[in-house]
Structure 1
Amino acid sequence: MTPAARLLAAIEILEEADADPRPVDRVLEGYFRQRRYAGSKDRHAIRERVFGILRRLARIDWHLSRSNVVERPTARLRVLADLLLTDELTAKAAGELFSGERHAPAAFGETETRVLSALKGATLDGSPDMPASVRVETPDWVYDRLEPVLGDDRDAALLAMGAEAPFDLRINPLHKADREAVREGLEKQGLVTEPTPFSPFGLRSKERKPIDALKLFKDGLIEVQDEGAQIAALLLGAAPGMQVADYCAGAGGKTLVLGGLMENKGRVLALDTSKGRLERCGVRTRRAGLHNVERHELAEGSDRRVKRLAGKFDRVMVDAPCSGTGTWRRNPDARWRYTEEDLAELTALQAVILQRGARLVKTGGRLAYVTCSLLPEENEGVVDAFLAERGDEFRSLDIAEVWNETVIPLGGGACPGEGSRLRLYPHRHNTDGFFVQILERIPAE
């Protein structure tokens, strides 16, 4: 594909993503599936352009809005502005790419010509009057809410969200494989990794490669999983013979960790409202060699089976659906997916899910409340409201003590937090943003 054809593909993908609620990486997968002629270098270049624009979207749109040419930027104008602001192409060089020839974007019209004039000499970060929230690519309503949590670190955390996430893998705990041996095996297959600092099962690579064809993956020995997600699952403290529930299990990322730690002894019940996600969970558990995982599709509203299981579980994972503000490195389009109005709906849903998950916990059992959000309303706001209502039944445990019970014996690194909550950040820990709080159902005296 020519450079111009790659730009046309980026425009088409951005247009499709703008109208598609799916994450942009899924849109990319579908686009390339229908265009098998695109080579690996083409796919890489197109992906870099699309994700790059999404990582720079607030600044690109800010410059376009200042041009007073259009009210709402189009994918075509965003690609053009990116060429001018990021690649710093001249108007002539940009015009050669937008030639209108076969497989190239259409030639400039009046609107593009005016944009070229307005952005002449401008650079992406070169405007001193650019608002702080725009400079760190964050919606105003999110930016304001993070100051109480991050303080002076707010901009550093949000700038770190603009970088590409490392490629984290997790070794299957069930196999009890030596991490160094797995690392060497991956290197022989062309993937260079290093041990993650906190998770004893993690390996990290600077380059992102498909692993589906690797024997280690096919044999169920490795999976792709951010180190933060690995830690969240480990902190629950699942052990052989336990009854464990993974509420909102999704496609089973944390379910695999829990089942592996339990060595196929006991039971993991994976619960989710999506049949499709649970089916993917089933594929992954079979590949991992897990036989102790059951899957159950939750009914909307009241679920009779879950009601019958009240007070039966030693451990319950509540991985609540959230705004995903902690995942912006790998999902840059998620920055603009939610609004302030959506937050109120999410926190109400999280409160309900926490209450339902708590019903399953037996006396003396534990519950992990987990989100991949940085927003306090979704994290301590939900847990504090729960404890205010049910503080006579549940108590919060010290996170360092839980870490020393669960992660350290497995060979993990030192706990990076203190107090009752663990917060993981990309700029401090090089993980996705995560919140974890461990609650215990108070044993009867």
Structure 2
Amino acid sequence: MTPHLLQATLDVLRDVETAARPADAVTSAFFRARRDLDDRDRGAVLEALYTMLRHRARLGWWLARQNSADTPRNRLLAWLVLGEGKTPNQIKHLWDGLKPALSAAETTLLANLSGHSVAHPDMPDSKRLECPDWALAPLQRRFGEEGFGAEMEATLIPPPLDLRVNPIKATRDAMLRDMTGMGLRPQPTPLSPHGIRLQERLSLARLPGLKTGEIEIQDEGSQLVTLLVDAKPKERVVDFCAGAGGKTLAIAAQMQNKGYVVACDVNETRLKRCAERLRGAGLHNVETRVLSSETDRWIKRHKAGFDRVLIDAPCSGTGTWRRNPDARWRAPELGLEGLVALQARILASAARLVKPGGRLVYATCSVLCEENEDQVTAFLAANPAFHLVPLRDAAPHLAGVTQSGHLCLTPARHGTDGFFAAILQREALPALGMVDPHSTV
């Protein structure tokens, strides 16, 4: 890495540390303002940044051991020694011309870290496995003592690039041929019939299908969640927490542009992005609707009016840590208990939209029991009109990724982001003319 790129890496690391926004949003803004960096430079800076984000706790442990402040500058210096194996002299030469120059304390830090690697036998598991304190006990409960380590290690491995083919505009076979012709090595995803996986690191500009709407970036696990909605042409469907519309696009395409989809969210900016993506994908059977809250009056007015309702609930995001390494260090604003309470309110409110005989899919990108199995169990206990549809019955080909009847995906076991989904069905109304055998009439 040149001094110019080293400075850019330090600058963007500082921006990520000080901003309240996710790292991907911060880096997008950073690169828009840095026209001096070409695609190759941006790739090098991003790789260095995300590598340090994936090593944050371990680098922090080393800095604390040296009584050094855990600052972006010190973390970068520590990574150059511990992660890239550079000598203090090499780093001094690389740092030449950067301001401010290396201080005496920084020179001492480099000397003390020289000869060591990122891992150290004295590290506690929470540091070695990059697990924040707030999530340690819930994750250990979820995976047990042995599974916890394997799953956390899997979140430290950069994920592949998963794409979903838009069947309105293309086929997977055609996209696989096109990408192979571009010198890439695409593979069909093993579980999703619309997915393509790329292991290569590449500029997204090399994928023209992203601009034409033929493909979308979407993890295979997320694709499977939308398949469980099983929306049919001419049905009425709600994506209750649509966000920027990744799952909405998949559902609308699943319906072959026929029927009616409502993409709801409390964030108007995200829904505007959803509308833009829908236009680019050639989908016109979707309406976007901004809700004031999870109990917006619109819900009551459309009670029992939809065949399918998807709730991709706001969650801790523990299933996305391999993709968003900065997210693990942002504890839920409401705390885990507050987040679980919000999910329960959303689930109870959105369930009112499901017509008799209709399907409700509750999903999160979390791997925590509190947000998933426990949430579904509590809902079913309070809502006897709904029952769980076991995954093996709804999607037999996914029998290998089920747990207690739910879809349960994890990075270590399935090579996807962590996802949970439960299929809940509302009881149908009795057929006309049938007599209740318990009736005294």
1:57 aligns with 2:51: no
User: Superposed, which structure 2 residues align to 1:240-259 within 5 Å?
Assistant: 240-259=233-252
Match of 2:37 in 1: 38
Match of 2:115 in 1: 121
* Residue type at the aligned position of 2:224: I
- Match of 2:164, SS state, is strand
C-alpha contact 1:403 1:415 (8 A) present in aligned 2 = no
C-alpha contact 2:380 2:386 (8 A) present in aligned 1 = yes
Match of 1:360 in 2: 353
Match of 2:401 in 1: 416
Match of 2:155 in 1: 161
Provide the C-alpha distance between the structure 2 equivalents of 1:191 and 1:10, rounded to a whole number of angstroms: 28
* Residue type at the aligned position of 1:435: F
* Residue type at the aligned position of 1:88: G
1:342 aligns with 2:317: no
Alignment partner for residue 400 of structure 1, among 380, 386, 392? 392
Shift of 1:3: 1.4
Provide the C-alpha distance between the structure 1 equivalents of 2:330 and 2:133, rounded to a whole number of angstroms: 14
* Residue type at the aligned position of 1:54: L
Bigger Cα displacement from structure 2, 222-231 vs 347-356? 347-356
* Residue type at the aligned position of 2:281: A
- Match of 2:292, SS state, is coil
Shift of 1:213: 6.5
C-alpha contact 1:171 1:179 (8 A) present in aligned 2 = yes
Provide the C-alpha distance between the structure 2 equivalents of 1:339 and 1:27, rounded to a whole number of angstroms: 19
Provide the C-alpha distance between the structure 1 equivalents of 2:87 and 2:208, rounded to a whole number of angstroms: 48
C-alpha contact 2:343 2:371 (8 A) present in aligned 1 = yes
**CA 1:45–1:218: 2 relative to 1, 3 Å:** closer
Match of 1:269 in 2: 262
Shift of 1:8: 1.3
Shift of 1:339: 5.4
C-alpha contact 1:370 1:435 (8 A) present in aligned 2 = yes
* Residue type at the aligned position of 2:47: E
Match of 1:87 in 2: 84
- Match of 1:173, SS state, is coil
1:199 aligns with 2:198: no
User: Superposed, which structure 2 residues align to 1:312-351 within 5 Å?
Assistant: 312-338=305-331, 342-351=335-344
**CA deviation vs aligned residue, 1:12-68 (integer Å, no higher than 9, x gap):** 111111111111122111111111111222111111111000001110000111112
Alignment partner for residue 78 of structure 1, among 75, 78, 98? 75
Provide the C-alpha distance between the structure 2 equivalents of 1:375 and 1:33, rounded to a whole number of angstroms: 36
**CA 1:415–1:239: 2 relative to 1, 3 Å:** farther
Shift of 1:342: 1.9
Alignment partner for residue 109 of structure 1, among 103, 110, 123? 103
Provide the C-alpha distance between the structure 2 equivalents of 1:10 and 1:69, rounded to a whole number of angstroms: 20
**CA deviation vs aligned residue, 1:219-241 (integer Å, no higher than 9, x gap):** 32211100000000001111111
Alignment partner for residue 184 of structure 1, among 177, 186, 192? 177
Provide the C-alpha distance between the structure 1 equivalents of 2:99 and 2:418, rounded to a whole number of angstroms: 38
**CA deviation vs aligned residue, 1:117-141 (integer Å, no higher than 9, x gap):** 432332111x211101111111133
Provide the C-alpha distance between the structure 2 equivalents of 1:339 and 1:289, rounded to a whole number of angstroms: 36
Shift of 1:324: 0.8
CA RMSD of aligned residues (A): 1.8
**CA 1:218–1:9: 2 relative to 1, 3 Å:** closer
TM-score by length of 2: 0.93
Provide the C-alpha distance between the structure 1 equivalents of 2:390 and 2:293, rounded to a whole number of angstroms: 34
**CA deviation vs aligned residue, 1:279-331 (integer Å, no higher than 9, x gap):** 11111111111111011001136422222011111100000011111111110
C-alpha contact 1:326 1:434 (8 A) present in aligned 2 = yes
Provide the C-alpha distance between the structure 1 equivalents of 2:7 and 2:42, rounded to a whole number of angstroms: 13
**CA deviation vs aligned residue, 1:196-232 (integer Å, no higher than 9, x gap):** 0000000000124344574433332211100000000
**CA deviation vs aligned residue, 1:82-119 (integer Å, no higher than 9, x gap):** 011111211111122222x1xx2422113313322432
**CA 1:415–1:261: 2 relative to 1, 3 Å:** farther
Alignment partner for residue 421 of structure 2, among 428, 432, 436? 436
TM-score by length of 1: 0.92
C-alpha contact 1:398 1:418 (8 A) present in aligned 2 = no
* Residue type at the aligned position of 2:424: L
Number of aligned residue pairs: give it.
429
Provide the C-alpha distance between the structure 2 equivalents of 1:351 and 1:366, rounded to a whole number of angstroms: 17
* Residue type at the aligned position of 1:5: H
Unaligned runs of 5+ residues in structure 1 are none
